[in-house]
Amino acid sequence: MLKFRKIPAETIRRMPRYLRAFSLLGQEGQAYISSQALAGQLHLKPPQIRKDLSYFGDFGTRGVGYPVSDTARRIREILKLDVAQKAVLIGAGRLGTAIASYPGFAMFGFDIAAIYDNSPAKIGKKLAGLTIQDIQTLSGIAEQRIRLAILAVPSESAQACATLLVDAGIRGILNLSPSWLKVPKRVKVVSIDLAMELGTLLFYL
Amino acid sequence: MLKFRKIPAETIRRMPRYLRAFSLLGQEGQAYISSQALAGQLHLKPPQIRKDLSYFGDFGTRGVGYPVSDTARRIREILKLDVAQKAVLIGAGRLGTAIASYPGFAMFGFDIAAIYDNSPAKIGKKLAGLTIQDIQTLSGIAEQRIRLAILAVPSESAQACATLLVDAGIRGILNLSPSWLKVPKRVKVVSIDLAMELGTLLFYL
């Protein structure tokens, strides 16, 4: 049993980037990649990559590199992506609509199992094969054992929705609204702010 | 003159997260925050935050913390977000449409100045106040001195679009397609894969 609590949060943050890289290399038919080559692609340093991956076992072979498909499979296991994972989508606006049909989720074993909104104009309509449900009935997801949520609502609604999600037993929230969520410690939030990611790029121009 | 090249890429990657945190704290009216409190919010360690921010000067005061609005302003300067920055959006599908109307960009000084697509059904139509242009006329952005692009196209079109962007003088690409882009070294790519971010959350469940 690995002592997951001792693994730095920043290492965990990089694991999906490694998985993405190994998955894409596998699609291209590459069998092995060195930490040097991987570092070049990901703008990281080779020792950083070797250290990160070493937390989870001996992935690579000196002089040969990392076996691409095997490493992808093992990272998928580590991140629990080897079994289908249900998620609930909150918000059926423009961003929610884009997310409901985003092909990447299915590719990595995620299944958007339910969609909620608070707008009477949207509730009852179909989106990506699902009927949009009333956010006030969100507590029903506890029975479905859904633990992940994607929050794609305007800033002003984000905290209220997060509170409903926590009450419904959600344990992880992917927050796409440009706002700060207050949740209990047991609930993990990852926030993506597209504008801020664009900000990283500017630095290098 | 700071030696920007010596700053670790991972520090640069965290700067937008700091800016996001300081901006949101400022909106809430908070004047100071300690590295401990900030670390709790961002799931980082306090020494990491102090080290990151120290690359850019003395932001904080021992026992008092970081001045929220002043630190936000200085990070904005560092990331060159203190002046309006034009970006071009490639792809007017569901994700592109969501991005064109994403409020976060304007909030941080980004201005989507042009939108391109390859679909005859979309070219000439309006989106977020702009006329969607033919991707084949992309070279025209060189005259407008636009250096940033947001790529929101399907995987199979991503590389062809990236090549067009590089030829048109783009220096930074925010890649939202689940694919791997081959670009010259002078061009910086930041890839966001929403499914992979969701993968980070799973690890903690």
Mean pLDDT for chain B overall? 87
Chain A environment of B79 (Cβ under 8 Å): 199-200, 202-203
Number of A–B residue contacts, CB under 8 Å: 209
B27-40, pLDDT tens digit by residue?
Answer: 889 999 999 999 88
With an 8 Å Cβ cutoff, are A204 and B12 in contact? Answer: yes
State mean pLDDT over B63-87. Answer: 87
Q: Would you state the structure tokens that stand for residue B25, as one six-digit string?
A: 């704290």
Q: How many CB atoms lie within 10 A of CB A123?
A: 18
Q: In this predicted structure, what is the pLDDT of residue B66?
A: 93
Give the model's confidence band at B126: pLDDT under 50 very low, under 70 low, under 90 confident, else very high. Answer: very high
Sign of torsion over alpha carbons A43, A45, A51, A54: positive
- Domain(s) labelled CATH 1.10.10.10 in chain B stretch across 4-77
Find the Cα–Cα–Cα–Cα dihedral A149, B153, A195, A168, rounded to 10°. -10
- Domain(s) labelled CATH 3.40.50.720 in chain A stretch across 85-196
State mean pLDDT over B77-104. Answer: 87
Q: In this predicted structure, what is the pLDDT of residue A96?
A: 92
With an 8 Å Cβ cutoff, are A200 and B28 in contact? Answer: no
Chain A environment of B202 (Cβ under 8 Å): 79-81, 85, 148, 172
β-strands A133-134, A130-131 pairing:
unpaired
With an 8 Å Cβ cutoff, are B104 and A154 in contact? Answer: no
Unique residue bearing structure tokens 């080897």? A82
Q: In this predicted structure, what is the pLDDT of residue B102?
A: 82
When mean pLDDT is compared across A17-26, B106-115, B138-147, B155-164, the lowest value belongs to B106-115
Nearest to A97 by CA among A128, A137, A136: A128
> What's the CATH code, domain A4-77?
1.10.10.10
Residue B95, classed as helix, strand or coil, is helix
State mean pLDDT over B19-31. Answer: 89
Residue of A148, A188, A197 lying closest to B192 (CB–CB): A197
Quick check: B111 pLDDT over 90? no
State mean pLDDT over B103-124. Answer: 87
Nearest to B105 by CA among A197, A137, A1, A5: A197
β-strands A126-127, A130-131 pairing:
antiparallel
For domain B85-196, give the CATH superfamily.
NAD(P)-binding Rossmann-like Domain (3.40.50.720)
Chain B environment of A194 (Cβ under 8 Å): 99, 102, 104-105, 150, 174, 176, 192
Q: In this predicted structure, what is the pLDDT of residue A153?
A: 93
Q: In this predicted structure, what is the pLDDT of residue A1?
A: 42
Quick check: B153 pLDDT over 90? yes
Quick check: B107 pLDDT over 60? yes
DSSP letter string, A34-92: -HHHHHHHHT--HHHHHHHHHTT----BTTTBEEHHHHHHHHHHHTT-SS-EEEEEE--
- The residues, any chain, with a CB within 8 Å of residue B32's CB and separated by 6 or more, are B64, B65, B66, B67, B68
With an 8 Å Cβ cutoff, are B190 and A202 in contact? Answer: no
| CA geometry: angle A65, A67, A71, nearest 5 deg | 115
Percent of chain B with pLDDT over 90: 45
DSSP letter string, A161-188: HHHHHHHTT--EEEE-SSS-----TTSE
Q: In this predicted structure, what is the pLDDT of residue B129?
A: 94
How many Å apart are CA B153 and CA B94, to the nearest integer? 9
Residue of A10, A104, A203 lying closest to B12 (CB–CB): A203
Cα B114 to its chain centre, rounded Å, is 17
CA Rg value for chain A: 19
How many Å apart are CA A148 and CA A127, to the nearest integer? 19
B205: exposed, middle or buried (Cβ count in 10 Å: 0-12, 13-18, 19+): exposed
B126: exposed, middle or buried (Cβ count in 10 Å: 0-12, 13-18, 19+): exposed
What residues of chain A score a pLDDT lower than 70? 1-5, 59, 107
Strand partners, A152: none
Residue A191, classed as helix, strand or coil, is strand
Q: In this predicted structure, what is the pLDDT of residue A89?
A: 96
Q: Would you state the structure tokens that stand for residue A45, as one six-digit string?
A: 């340093």
How many Å apart are CA A102 and CA B183, to the nearest integer? 24
| A85 to chain B: closest CA residue | B202
Select the highest-mean-pLDDT range: A81-85, B149-153, B196-200: B149-153
Q: In this predicted structure, what is the pLDDT of residue B1?
A: 42
A56-73, pLDDT tens digit by residue?
Answer: 777 677 888 999 999 988
Quick check: B175 pLDDT over 50? yes
Report CA-CA distances (Å) from B5 to A123, B2, B12, B171.
51, 9, 10, 17
Percent of chain B with pLDDT over 70: 96
Q: In this predicted structure, what is the pLDDT of residue A90?
A: 97
